[in-house]
Amino acid sequence: MIEAAPTQSELAPQLQQNDLCPHCVKPIARFDHFCPHCGGPVTAHAAIDPLSQVYAQGYAYRQATTINQPKFIVVLGIWLIFGPQALLLTQCDQHRS
């Protein structure tokens, strides 16, 4: 005799106990905001909390640049975002001296 497939309500407790990181697909604890294995953000808290936003953005930049061979457009984009800020900071430090 063929058994019926489990219903959504029967599977819900199993799914809640076995949360997986969407980035590395390794198990994570239910209340983790970041994956302990890869450091990727896994909840909305990572986008709301100001300090967590910094970590989440850092994760995105690391992923963009640590691929086997980063694409030129990604490296160029990061330089365009952070290059002017770095130049301004160095100029401000020179004026203080």
pLDDT tier at 8, thresholds 50, 70, 90: low
Q: How many domains does the chain have?
A: 2
Per residue in 43-93, pLDDT (tens digit) is: 888 878 888 888 888 887 777 777 677 678 877 887 888 888 778 877 776
On whether both 32 and 50 belong to a single domain, the answer is yes
CA atoms of 22 and 50, how far apart (whole Å): 22
Are residues 56 and 81 located together in one domain of the fold?
A: no
Do 26 and 49 lie in a common domain?
A: yes
Q: Is 2 left (phi over 0), alpha (psi -120 to 50) or beta?
A: beta
Q: By the 8 A CB rule, do 28 and 21 touch?
A: yes
- Distance of alpha carbon 90 from alpha carbon 84, whole angstroms: 10
Is 78:65 a contact under the CB 8 Å cutoff? yes
Q: Which structural domain, as residue segments, surrounds residue 2?
A: 1-66
Whether residues 90 and 60 fall in one domain: no
**More reliable by pLDDT, 51 or 6:** 51
Whether the full predicted model's pTM is greater than 0.85, yes or no, is: no
Residue 5, pLDDT score: 61
Residues 45 and 86 in one domain: no
Q: What is the DSSP letter of 43?
A: S
Please give the pLDDT value at position 16: 53
Are residues 16 and 35 located together in one domain of the fold? yes
